[in-house]
Amino acid sequence: MTIQLNDSTLLKTQAYIDGQWVDGDKGETFAVTNPATGEHLADVASVGADETRRAIIAAEKAMVSWKALPAKTRSELLERWYSLIIDNQEDLAVLMTAEQGKPLFESRGEVAYGASFIKWFAEEGKRVYGDIIPSTADRRGVVVKQPVGVVAAITPWNFPNAMIARKVAPALAVGCAMVLKPAAETPLSALALVELANRAGLPAGLFSVLPGINAQAIGGEMTSNTIVKKVTFTGSTPVGKLLMKQCADTVKRTSMELGGNAPVIIFDDADLDAAVAGVLVAKYRNSGQTCICANRILVQEGIYDAFIEKFAAAVKGFRVGNGMDADSTHGPVITEKAATEIHAKVQSAVAEGATVVIGGQAGSQGACFYEPTILTNVTDKMRVFREEIFGPVAPVFKFSTEEQAIAMANDTQFGLAAYLYTENMGRVWRVSEGIDYGMVGVNETAISSEVIPFGGMKESGQGREGSKYGLDDYLETKYICIGGL
């Protein structure tokens, strides 16, 4: 076996449907590879529309008794699942680094972060309140919240554990059932997660995991099947738009966590060291492959040269390598294709006049590596300003005034996360309220946790994950009029 686990039974390669580990109907499989080494890790069952339909039917059946349970009983299952995830944190982290590439310390962090959503919603699921509305003397309006129904989830490869946890935890907590299609690059983390749910006592059918390379077949069934009442998706904006269109035919509710184009705005009055430290994390974590990654570094002219100097010095200290090696600070990107696309964006910027301060080419460690890169002399016409880079490339732009910074920040169809560094309290409020983003980090870039509402505006999506608001995406609001009083 190429992945060394303490508990080797966490390496699952079949689909998990209606409480059973099964092969795909046609016996098809797809290969999972380690992006750091190119090593073949596993052949995983590839399912299609028929298996997806069976999982959806099983989910509908399982939901009947699940939603009737007291919230406290559902919470107990989630608590047990949480404990098992924490007990197996190291194995889950090793699986994740093997299939996704991020350094082991980041994988451990993600497993803990994912688990925190399960714990949070185990607690929060007990607090689904309604209202009583006094209208006239002889009637009352009662508002109750009920589970939305069977939920279908589609998740990406950049956070193979946490993007699943923060969808399935609120869904199960309020009484829904879920069918999930994980990304084909990273199915092993998803399958290990559901195995632990199974050990925690998950009722059959309540949470099925459907790995597959034919995303259109699985997604097509999920979005057209009338049993499914809600589709929750994290991934790219084009696929999100497609799924929303597909969901329109049966008027499904949707939650969409899509692409970002996060600005980090650094003003002359910023704490320079804090700004450099913040950008390093916001830009290069997960090798730049997060939807809240800093995409555009906007630096005011008075601090620009000092920023570039300190920033470049810090990036020179990175140790890029296999995420399994304890001294690697940064791993590969997900595929060779991703590395090629990142390089095309850099080359197009350079062709239009950008300067490479550091990096600017494929890494020597393997086919999926790209050197941490800083670009200057960039403009708002370039692809690196307009498009999500999703790689370790930091274009640094210069601005003069606060108004100009706000205009540049808003000059995008995206609106997920933004960051600003300033010591001026008036500016903190003006800029935070003036930029169109779902999340704003002020003098801080590590903004995400289970207690906050994560989500975007504009073409970055709709719905919020985490926090007390995260339950809303899985609840229907029902009004009951009680008359004749």
| Residues tagged active-site | 257
Q: How far is CA 205 from CA 60, 62, 165, 202, 269, in A?
A: 8, 5, 17, 8, 56
Local structure of 130: helix, strand or coil = coil
Count H helices, E strands: the chain? 14, 22
The CA–CA distances, whole Å, from 268 to 115, 309, 413, 420, 422 equal 39, 15, 27, 11, 7
Q: Kindly report the CA angle at 245 between 242 and 247, in degrees rounded to 5? A: 110
Q: Alpha-carbon distance 412 to 304, whole Å?
A: 23
Nearest to 373 by CA among 353, 355, 385, 399: 355
Residue nearer to ligand ADP on the CB measure, 124 or 221: 221
Nearer to ligand ADP, 181 or 252 (CB): 181
Minimum CB–partner distance for residue 366 and ligand ADP (Å): 20
Categorise residue 100: left if φ over 0, alpha if ψ from -120 to 50, beta otherwise.
alpha
Q: Which residue is nearest to ligand ADP (CB)?
A: 219
Radius of gyration of the chain (CA): 23
Burial tier of 392 (Cβ tally within 10 Å: 0-12, 13-18, 19+):
buried
Closest CB 15 distance from ligand ADP, rounded Å: 14
* Residue given tokens 């301060």 in the structure block: 357
DSSP state of 202: P
CB of 101 to ligand ADP, least distance (A): 14
Interacting residue ranges for ligand ADP, rule: CB under 6 A: 154-157, 181, 183-184, 215-216, 219, 235-236, 239, 242
* Nearer Cβ to ligand ADP (242/314): 242
Which H or E run includes 443? none
Q: Closer to ligand ADP by CB, 59 or 84: give it.
A: 59
For 366, half-sphere exposure in the C-beta direction (CA atoms, 13 angstrom radius) is 19
Minimum Å gap between C-beta 234 and ligand ADP is 7
Question: Nearer to ligand ADP by C-beta: 69 or 215?
Answer: 215
Q: For ligand ADP, give the closer residue by CB, 155 or 198.
A: 155
- How far is the C-alpha of 300 from the C-alpha of 322, rounded, in Å? 36
Q: How far is the CB of 260 from ligand ADP (least distance, A)?
A: 12
Strand-pairing partners, residue 163, are none
For residue 144, the minimal CB distance to ligand ADP (Å) is 33
Min CB(445)–ligand ADP separation in Å: 21
- Pairing between strand 20-22 and 15-17? antiparallel
Q: Pick between residue 155 and residue 460 the one whose CB is nearest to ligand ADP.
A: 155
